[in-house]
Amino acid sequence: AQRVTQPEKLLSVFKGAPVELKCNYSYSGSPELFWYVQYSRQRLQLLLRHISRESIKGFTADLNKGETSFHLKKPFAQEEDSAMYYCALRVDSSYKLIFGSGTRLLVRP
Amino acid sequence: DAGVIQSPRHEVTEMGQEVTLRCKPISGHNSLFWYRQTMMRGLELLIYFNNNVPIDDSGMPEDRFSAKMPNASFSTLKIQPSEPRDSAVYFCASRSQYSVIHFGNGTRLTVT
């Protein structure tokens, strides 16, 4: 079955510290992975997608098919990064996204 | 582009009442999704439409929930009768074949 697992409900770090939000997926085919971010009481926004191999707001994520992971990383967290982060999986030829349960990132001053 | 438009932004109702949530997808998008967000379960896909046709409704929790898409620019999610455990934020989202999913601002539903 297709599944996305985000093991941490809450991740609290100090400003300037490195951040890694974990995401593991379960899918036997060729996955397409995304990270979405939701700032307080706002809509979900696409942060990045693995096929773009880009860095957005200092965040990067590398798809590791061997470990079936797509962890989100940032070397130096900022207070404005505090938000809810969702990892999502799009399966082949499908229009739908399967989301993880989300990780709340809290960056303390 | 105004993005995906949902109404109302907030809905407070009493248990047993009918609730209707509305969504206007982005013009030109041919897929529409309804998600429910709760603290316990995060984001859950309830149903999605492709070209106005329901493709997968396996996430709809029970018969009290129904969704329609009468045309390409409008969809509704109805709960009848509503229960306190339905309290959540309901997101509508849309996409085209060549775009990523775009989310609306959500409707915060409180059932007392």
**Tens of pLDDT along A60-98?**
998 998 999 999 999 999 999 999 999 999 876 666 788
* B27-32 mean pLDDT: 92
What angle is formed at CA A86 by the lines to CA B108 and CA A8, rounded to 5 degrees? 105
CA distance A52 to B11: 38
Average pLDDT, whole number, for chain B? Answer: 93
Contact A43, A57 (CB under 8 A): no
Whether chain B has a CB inside 8 Å of the CB on A46: the answer is yes
CA distance B84 to B26: 31
Whether chain A has a CB inside 8 Å of the CB on B74: the answer is no
* A11-24 mean pLDDT: 97
C-alpha dist (Å) from residue B26 to A90, B5, B65: 20, 8, 24
- Reference A88, options A106, A70, A73; nearest CA is A70
**Helices and strands per DSSP (H, E), number in chain A:** 0, 11
Residues contacting residue A94 through CB under 8 Å, at least 6 positions apart: none
Give the nearest chain A residue to B39 (CA atoms). Answer: A101
pLDDT at B1 (0 to 100): 62
Q: Which of B57, B100, B102 to mutate to test the interface with A (most CBs of A within 10 A)?
A: B100
pLDDT at A17 (0 to 100): 97
Q: Which of A95, A98, A99, A104 to mutate to test the interface with B (most CBs of B within 10 A)?
A: A95
The Cα of A72 is separated from the nearest Cα of chain B by a number of Å equal to: 18
Interface A:B, Cβ pairs < 8 A: 47
Which amino acid type is present at position A27? Y
Whether chain B has a CB inside 8 Å of the CB on A21: the answer is no
Model confidence pLDDT, tens digit, residues B50-96: 999 998 888 898 899 999 999 999 999 999 999 999 999 999 999 98
Residues of B in contact with A45 (CB under 8 A): 103
Whether chain A has a CB inside 8 Å of the CB on B35: the answer is yes
